[in-house]
Amino acid sequence: MFHIPLPPSLVARQYAPVLTYHACLKACPDDIAVEDNITPGFLYEHLDALRRLWRFVPIDEFSETTNRKGIAAVTFDDGYKSVIHNALPVLTALDIPCTIFINLIGINQKVFWRHKVMRVIASGLQQECEASFTHIRKLPGQSFYHYLKHPANDSRISELEIDRFIQSKNLAPKISNHLVDDLSYFLDHPLVWYGNHSSNHYVLSSLSLEEQRKEILETDAFLRRLKHIKRSLAFSLPFGESHHVNHDTLSALKDLGYKSLLMNRGRLNRLRAARHDPLPVVERFSPGSEPIGSLIAKEFVRTVVSAPFHLVLS
């Protein structure tokens, strides 16, 4: 990890940040990846520092404007209950809006399949689990944690095989349901919007067009039924890397009326939004538990060396 003496004020002249957080817990349980958790203290520190340089706006306003100078946005992916319990008080204290992108896993009384993966790893059973696979490809150069979210592996099949192994080892009782699981988490709040993060958080590019449409449509229909909430027309791509989206994904999103696609490629946004993609693309990065100045500096360097900004689909 490197640190660059680059003041965020210099970055603000050229780029606009969109932050992606997930869980917000004081201590990270071992069925949540450490990089998917931010403590309330670090969340406050990050946002308090950034609001001195950028004005935070809802993600739809950020996505739709053609001039992003001086603005930023905050998003939370997956729909963790801890966002309402622990992050919302921070956002309220700082008067910062956010959009929570949900899937329906908790609402459907299921457990997030990525939490199952983390439970296998935490239990020291990774190699035994891999040996049990019959239809999952182990990809060269990729870890167990990463190749399971590669489009070469159909996410539905991956979850079925992981479930079979977890049941054989009686690991299920040790996995908590951390995601929103009832309607009380959907608030009519001046700072909170809700958006679509697919139904099961599968790798969409591992699925057929019809399967992708179903993944997107189920959560879309659920959110439309909640008349009291503010609904985002941005779509947050599960996992958020370039290989997690394909032409079928874009076709399904356009047919359903989505206005922008949120990636999570670890980049900042140019001040002038590009409009040559099938859907406008918003770049995001996931801050870790370190000072925001060094995080912004790293994302600046990554952004500069990571052209192009638009989607390049195979």
Query: Is 291 inside any structural domain?
Result: yes
Whose tokens are 């001039």? That residue is: 67
> Do 258 and 190 share a structural domain?
yes
> Do 277 and 211 share a structural domain?
yes
CATH of the domain at 212: 3.20.20.370
> Per the structure, how many domains does the chain have?
2
Tally of CB atoms within 10 A around 203: 24
Query: Is 29 inside any structural domain?
Result: yes
> Do 157 and 53 share a structural domain?
no
Residue 145 CA to residue 199 CA, distance in Å, equals: 21
Query: Is 134 inside any structural domain?
Result: yes
Query: Is 137 inside any structural domain?
Result: yes
> Do 225 and 198 share a structural domain?
yes
Residue 309's pLDDT is: 54
Q: What average pLDDT score do residues 274-291 get? A: 85
Instruction: Note the pLDDT tens digit of each residue in 46-75.
Output: 999 999 999 999 999 999 998 999 999 999
Residue 289's pLDDT is: 87
Question: What is the β-pairing status of strands 230-236 and 192-196?
Answer: parallel
pLDDT at residue 292 greater than cutoff 50: yes
Burial class (CB in 10 A: 0-12, 13-18, 19+), 272: exposed
Query: Is 313 inside any structural domain?
Result: no
> Do 28 and 78 share a structural domain?
yes
Query: Is 67 inside any structural domain?
Result: yes
> Do 230 and 150 share a structural domain?
no
Structure confidence at residue 1 as a pLDDT band (50, 70, 90):
very low
Whose tokens are 């070469």? That residue is: 152
Of 170, 312, 147, the closest CA to residue 246 belongs to 312
Domain that holds residue 299: 8-110+182-304
Q: Return the H-helix or E-strand segment holding 98.
A: strand 98-102
Query: Is 227 inside any structural domain?
Result: yes
Q: Are 107 and 181 in contact (CB under 8 A)?
A: yes
Q: Return the H-helix or E-strand segment holding 16.
A: strand 15-16
Question: Taking the model in full, what pTM does it have?
Answer: 0.94
> Do 195 and 243 share a structural domain?
yes
pLDDT at residue 215 greater than cutoff 60: yes
Q: Are 285 and 266 in contact (CB under 8 A)?
A: yes
> Do 105 and 41 share a structural domain?
yes
> Do 130 and 79 share a structural domain?
no
